[in-house]
C-alpha cells in the first residue's frame, strides 16, 4: 500500500471537503449578481468568511479570499510596501529572514531589484532560531526607514516555530506592520490572528486537506495596502476578480476541521515524529535532525545525511512505495542545495543530503512503520551512491 508522508507539499483532500466542494461547484451564480442565483452564491461565500473568522479569531471583514499562499504573500508584501512607501519614500526597508519561503523572498527580492527597496535579514542560529535581540538593535537604529516585517509563523521545511507575538510587540513600538505566512503553522499549532498582533497573515487550504487553489489573506481592518491587480473591486477593493464561492466554502470547512482536531492530532504527530527520529538514528548514527533543539512543529521532521544525496533517498524510498520530500515542493525539479539548510550554516553538500517528512490528517501508525521498514535499504543504497550527481 503506497505511503504518503509529504503533507507540507499538499495533503489528500478530506472526504467531507470533497463532498462539499463538488456540491457547491454545481451551484449557479456570480456572487456579484443581484438575482437569486447570484445571491445564493454570495451567501455561500459570506458563510465561508464567517467560518474562517471564527476558526482563527479574526473579524469576518479581515478575510480576503485568494487563489492560495503565493498570491496572498505577494498581495501582503507588495501591497503593504507600496502603500507605506508611497506615503513616505524614506521607508524602503523590508525585514525578513534567510529561511523564508520563496513566495516571500522572491516577492521581496523583486521589490529590491525593481522598486528601490532594501532588505534586512534577521540573523538566526544553527537551529534556525531567529536572533530577536539583533532585530531590536536594528530597529533602534533604523526603524524610521522600515516599511514592513515579514516572518513566517513556522518554517515549512525544518519546522522551527518563530515568536510572532514577540516580533509584533517589538514592531508595535515603531508602528511597523508585520506580515506572517502561517501556512505551515495553521492546523498544527494554535493560530490566533487577533492575539498575534499581526497586520496581515497568509493561509491556504491544500496543506490541510482542502483543494489546491483555495487561500486567503487575513488583513487587519485598519491596515492599508495597494492592490496588486485591478478590476471589479471585489474583496474590499483589494483583490479584484470573480470570487470562487466553491473554493471559499471548501477552505472554510478545511480550516474548521483542522483547527478543531489540532490539539489531538498534534499529540499523535509528536509521538510519531519521535518514533521516526529514534528509528532513523538507529540506522544512520551520523544523521543530523534539523532544529532538533528548537521549538518545532509536531508534524515535521527534517533530516540531513552526511555523504548522501537527498534525491537518492527520495527515489529509493519512492521505489518502495514511500513518498517523502527533500524540502520545499515549491522548488521541486530544481536540483540544488536547500537555502533553508544553508541558512543554518551547513555546507553545500550537507544541504544536498536532506529529507523532510511531514505528517497530516490522514497519517497512520502503519505509515511510520512502512517508512522505518523501507529506510535501511534506501539509506544503504544512498550511502553507496555517495554524493555523485547525475
Which residues is 302 bridged to in the sheet? 356
Helices (H), 101-242: 102-114, 132-142, 164-173, 193-196, 234-237
- Residue 194's nearest CA partner among 31, 56, 299 is 56
Catalytic residue status for 330: yes
Residues ≥6 apart with Cβ < 8 Å to 360: 7, 11, 12, 207, 208, 209, 299
Which residue carries 510596501 as its cell?
81
Catalytic residue among 25, 132, 330, 387: 330
> Using CA atoms, how far apart are residues 117 and 198, in angstroms rounded to an integer?
22
Which residue carries 540531513 as its cell?
304
Q: Please, what is the Cα angle at 203 between 201 and 206, to 5 degrees?
A: 170
DSSP state at residue 208: T
Q: Catalogue the active-site residues.
A: 330
Amino acid at each position: 500500500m503506497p505511503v504518503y508522508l509529504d503533507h507540507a507539499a499538499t495533503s489528500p483532500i478530506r472526504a467531507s471537503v470533497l463532498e462539499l466542494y463538488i456540491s457547491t461547484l454545481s451551484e449557479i451564480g456570480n456572487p456579484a449578481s443581484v438575482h437569486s442565483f447570484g445571491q445564493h452564491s454570495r451567501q455561500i461565500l459570506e458563510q465561508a468568511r464567517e467560518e474562517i473568522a471564527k476558526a482563527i479569531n479574526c473579524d469576518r471583514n479581515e478575510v480576503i479570499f485568494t487563489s492560495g499562499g503565493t498570491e496572498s504573500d505577494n498581495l501582503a508584501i507588495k501591497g503593504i510596501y507600496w502603500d507605506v512607501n508611497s506615503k513616505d519614500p524614506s521607508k524602503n526597508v523590508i525585514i525578513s529572514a534567510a529561511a523564508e519561503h520563496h513566495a516571500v523572498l522572491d516577492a521581496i527580492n523583486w521589490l529590491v531589484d525593481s522598486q528601490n527597496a532594501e532588505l534586512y535579514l534577521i540573523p538566526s542560529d544553527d537551529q534556525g532560531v531567529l536572533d530577536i535581540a539583533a532585530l531590536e538593535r536594528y530597529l533602534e537604529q533604523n526603524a524610521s526607514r522600515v516599511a514592513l516585517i515579514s516572518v513566517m509563523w513556522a518554517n515549512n521545511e525544518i519546522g522551527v516555530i518563530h515568536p510572532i507575538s514577540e516580533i509584533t510587540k517589538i514592531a508595535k513600538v515603531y508602528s511597523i506592520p508585520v506580515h506572517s505566512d502561517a501556512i505551515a503553522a495553521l492546523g498544527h499549532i494554535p493560530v490566533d490572528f487577533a492575539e498575534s498582533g499581526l497586520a496581515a497573515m497568509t493561509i491556504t487550504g491544500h496543506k490541510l486537506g482542502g483543494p489546491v487553489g483555495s487561500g486567503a489573506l487575513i488583513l487587519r481592518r485598519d491596515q492599508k495596502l495597494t492592490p496588486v491587480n485591478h478590476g471589479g473591486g471585489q474583496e474590499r477593493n483589494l483583490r479584484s476578480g470573480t470570487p470562487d464561492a466553491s473554493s471559499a466554502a471548501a477552505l472554510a470547512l478545511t480550516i474548521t476541521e483542522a483547527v478543531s482536531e489540532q490539539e489531538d492530532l498534534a499529540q499523535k504527530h509528536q509521538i510519531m515524529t519521535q518514533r521516526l527520529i529514534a528509528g532513523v538514528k538507529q540506522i544512520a548514527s551520523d544523521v543530523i535532525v534539523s532544529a532538533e533543539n528548537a521549538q518545532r512543529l509536531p508534524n515535521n521532521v527534517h533530516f540531513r545525511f552526511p555523504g548522501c544525496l537527498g534525491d537518492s533517498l527520495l527515489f529509493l524510498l519512492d521505489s518502495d512505495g514511500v513518498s517523502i520530500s527533500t524540502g520545499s515542493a515549491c522548488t521541486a525539479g530544481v536540483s540544488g542545495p536547500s537555502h533553508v539548510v544553508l541558512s543554518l550554516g551547513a555546507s553545500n553538500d550537507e544541504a544536498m543530503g536532506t529529507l523532510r517528512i511531514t505528517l497530516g490528517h490522514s497519517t497512520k501508525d502503519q505509515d511510520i512503520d512502512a517508512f522505518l521498514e523501507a529506510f535501511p535499504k534506501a539509506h544503504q543504497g544512498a550511502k553507496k551512491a555517495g554524493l555523485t550527481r547525475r
